[in-house]
Chain A
């Protein structure tokens, strides 16, 4: 077998060094009732060629985003990733290393994490960032738990503009930990409504901008209202490219910013692996979940980096830890950092403006399509529209015609009573021809 270096002779020699007769002697502690003598009922080993053939056949049964007009967003976005990013993340030293437990031989990973934290803090406009979480949704749930620890209050107010899957991820974790949630009704322009829901028991309010319907909101007033009530403001962003055009969460008074970082450096991958960005005010530093990388010096006074403030973490604090997180999203964070370091501020601003530009084109085309009502006024690269028919049916029909028209809101929240709402995103990869094809196909379906 190509991944197993030992030969039968090696095995025999090693067994004799150990002083046992057969491999079974090393499994004697397994209860006899549970020892399996034969192989399990699964196919036997296969060569590289056969495996490649089988998996390629499965891959071929999927319609790739790049194969035609494509408008899905709602938390995952198709962007162009420079070729050098994937090359670097496949270097053995990054790909096949682990969490930097031995800093003297992990400075590569550690310095990248320090760069990543600096970039995330800059993007979110906050003072400190961690070394990544699994993704945006788990990051949002962690942020709610953190706010609960800080304020010692028991309720989270969740905006009606928050991605429904984020809502469920937060509710699942919060309810297990005894934190109540007040989830507001879905609305295209939902953020302002959270102000009315804030009360003395509120630990935090969670708002999203741009929200799931694409609406961009200045959350400054929400921040003021939250702070006046002794609550924290958590700002969620699912499209990290928007940081290049829009006011940062920190600038608007957020205490914690959480984002899905997939858009920078990472592909769609059917939902994962992605990378959660997490930043907050410096005064909450010791309540941050996950790994933190910090600067220090070595025995000769040279600058170096280590994992730090680990007394927050599970391997030291065990049941008193700030989170149970151990493995995070290191390689995706590396991809993010490389792509961001290529872009720089100039490139990011240009990329963000370009995304918005494509969405303007998309919005204009949809507004000009008979029967389509554009619902989102202030948008970045994503908008919601109301169709004269069930949006899921329209999407299915258009998929048959080779156009992936976006995400029906009912796919995210079937009970919201918004079956006619469709979410569409445009990115720098959306061409004029894509938009024209969408418009044509949509016009035809609506007319039927």
Chain B
């Protein structure tokens, strides 16, 4: 999902005045100061023992690499220390609440990891004979069945590699359908101002012009504006539901009706499916295509920024245009449709070389089987309950962006309550770091001033929620009491103080160099 912390280059506002934390070595207790791998020697050794090769084929004369490559190698103990030390500089779900709104940072069950590592799944090649991978194809077929049943949609394209890739898949299917129906002139995609940045970026990538749809005061799609903009040039609308304000689009069925009446398709951004899984089927809402982030709703790990997986469920109207490959069940086992011929003649193409994120399919199915139909419904209910609990318990000290009515799986606040304190949303977020929590999503959605989007997920206990709420309440009181330095200096307890993002962008240094220039210094 999109987040604005990196979108607003920031630099420390206060002078460094906290020298008391300095040590002689740069290490701080359990936190070691760790150089780059390139600064640890290792230019003439390796941590892998391999036999010597006997020779090179003469045909490669003139094609060999002779110049130094510039890669250090270290022994296993050195490597373990290096990366374990680095790991300790990361926040993680396993450490504390990670309430990034729209990202669904829930617990990652370790059974899923164990299952994905079964050699029967991890040590099989995407191009070995299909007769030798019937279990893998069976797993993909079963995952597809779960996704179709949970969404009430007739088809699914599994191969997209992440949510944004899924958006692309959906829009390309829509485009192919329009072209097949003589509607190729439709070149506009409508999306609300509150949409994830990936929506307009994907639409542009798929060759569309994007127009924004307005929003009502209660945080929903403005139906009148939508109706006015739905014309013969519109190919699709892209609407997130529950939306990026954490609210269910009450008029979603009417949105679908208007869209279809205008000859356009309804693409639903399914980033927030976690809020409704097992309780609402997007197919019942009139959705034509929706991606599902397996790394959000279905608990596959976020891994520091991927890999994700973004299967796309499709309506009957779009199903024929799904990209290859896909699995079909036959009398003598499963087969893999890999080319745009015969039953796949209408496929819009191919999105990636192989079968998509198999490792994520295994994890997601492991999660689905564990929860079952009943557990997944409880997932949605607890996710929504936790978010509303946070909203209820913070509303007297912070300002909810949409105070009336319940939210879904995330609680959205604006920065009106910080007015006059001298503290910004960013400062507040950085102060949360000092209290041991990952900040919420900041400055997104764009439609809410100084937005703070809190998504606790269903895997937080009441104890942990109460601890989080107490921390935010204490911080809110501190901000209102004029303790501005606490916020401007924050974080003081993290491995590093606030970083100079402006400098990084102004003087890009994207790799280590042996002819190391002087250390960067703030201007």
Contact = CB atoms under 8 A, between A and B. Distances in A.
Interface string B488-523: 010100111111110111001111100000011110
B378 A1 contact: yes
A284 interface: no
B303 A42 contact: no
Interface residues of A, number: 207
B214 interface: no
B1 to A, nearest CB: 7
Interface in B50-78: 50-57, 59-60, 62-65, 67-74, 76
Contacts of A82: 47-48, 76
Interface stretch (B229-237, B355-363, B472-480): B355-363
A3 B107 contact: yes
Interface string A268-285: 111111110000000001
A64 interface: yes
A96 B50 contact: no
Nearest to B139: A58
B46 A347 contact: yes
A318 B444 CA distance: 13
B163 to A, nearest CB: 7
Given A285-B508, A327-B162, A334-B304, A40 B133 contact: no
Interface in A1-35: 1-6, 10-11, 13-15, 17-20, 23, 25-31, 33-35
Contacts of A291: 305
A318 B163 contact: no
A349 B504 CA distance: 34
A298 B164 contact: no
Interface string B338-370: 111100000011111111111110100110111
A148 to B, nearest CB: 12
A104 B493 CA distance: 9
A21 to B, nearest CB: 12
Interface in B150-207: 150, 161-165, 167-168, 172, 175, 196-198, 200-207
A188 B355 CA distance: 25
Given A23-B381, A298-B12, 16 more contacts: A27-B406, A35-B280, A51-B366, A94-B303, A95-B108, A97-B91, A104-B496, A134-B307, A272-B357, A273-B360, A301-B519, A306-B499, A323-B201, A344-B47, A356-B60, A378-B60
* Most B CB within 10 A of own CB, among A43, A101, A172, A310: A101
Interface string B354-396: 1111111010011011111111111101101110110111000
B100 to A, nearest CB: 6
Contact of B358 (A108, A122, A271): A271
B57 A379 contact: yes
A102 interface: yes
Interface stretch (A162-170, A190-198, A199-207): A162-170
B421 interface: no
28 contacts: A3-B459, A4-B375, A18-B391, A26-B406, A31-B285, A48-B370, A56-B118, A65-B123, A90-B113, A99-B305, A137-B354, A169-B349, A172-B172, A176-B172, A267-B123, A270-B355, A294-B508, A298-B498, A298-B500, A314-B197, A316-B4, A316-B7, A324-B164, A330-B307, A343-B46, A348-B73, A353-B52, A404-B128
A431 to B, nearest CB: 12
B356 A271 contact: yes
Interface in A129-185: 129, 131-132, 134-138, 145, 163, 165-166, 168-169, 171-173, 175-178
A240 interface: no
A45 B508 CA distance: 50
Nearest to A60: B120
Contacts of A298: 12, 496-500
A350 interface: yes
Given A40-B278, A176-B207, A270-B125, A340 B353 contact: no
A439 interface: no
A317 interface: yes
A31 to B, nearest CB: 5
Contacts of A325: 162, 164
Kindly state the interface size class of chain B when it binds its partner. 35 or more
A165 to B, nearest CB: 4
A52 B36 CA distance: 40
B143 to A, nearest CB: 11
Nearest to A40: B373
A414 B340 CA distance: 10
A213 interface: no
A107 B353 contact: no
Contact of A342 (B3, B79, B117, B118): B79
A292 B38 CA distance: 19
Contacts of A287: none
A166 B421 CA distance: 55
A346 B496 contact: no
Nearest to B512: A118
A66 B125 CA distance: 11
B438 A102 contact: yes
Interface in B96-133: 98, 100, 103, 105, 107-109, 111, 113-129, 131-133
Given A105-B433, A353-B56, A4 B382 contact: yes
A17 to B, nearest CB: 5
B304 A218 contact: no
Contacts of B281: 34, 36, 40
A321 B197 contact: yes
Given A176-B175, A324-B164, A330-B305, A4 B378 contact: yes
Given A104-B499, A306-B499, A338-B79, A323 B359 contact: no
B80 A88 contact: yes
B136 interface: yes
B306 interface: yes
Given A36-B280, A326-B2, A98 B57 contact: no
Nearest to A58: B135
Nearest to A216: B63
Interface string A301-325: 1111011111101111111110111
B515 to A, nearest CB: 13
Given A88-B87, A172-B351, A246-B64, A23 B385 contact: yes
B370 A3 contact: yes
Interface string B264-277: 00000000000010
Contact of B53 (A296, A308, A334, A354): A354
B48 A99 contact: no
B521 A41 contact: no
A308 B520 CA distance: 15
Contacts of B50: 347, 350-351, 354, 428
B369 A64 contact: no
B114 A52 contact: yes
Given A109-B305, A138-B351, A308-B504, A341 B496 contact: no
Interface string A77-92: 0100010101111111
A149 to B, nearest CB: 11
A132 B162 CA distance: 13
* Most A CB within 10 A of own CB, among B87, B105, B111, B306: B306
Contacts of A2: 370
A17 B439 CA distance: 24
Contacts of A94: 87, 90, 92, 303-304
Interface string B449-466: 000000000111110100
* Most B CB within 10 A of own CB, among A17, A26, A299, A351: A299
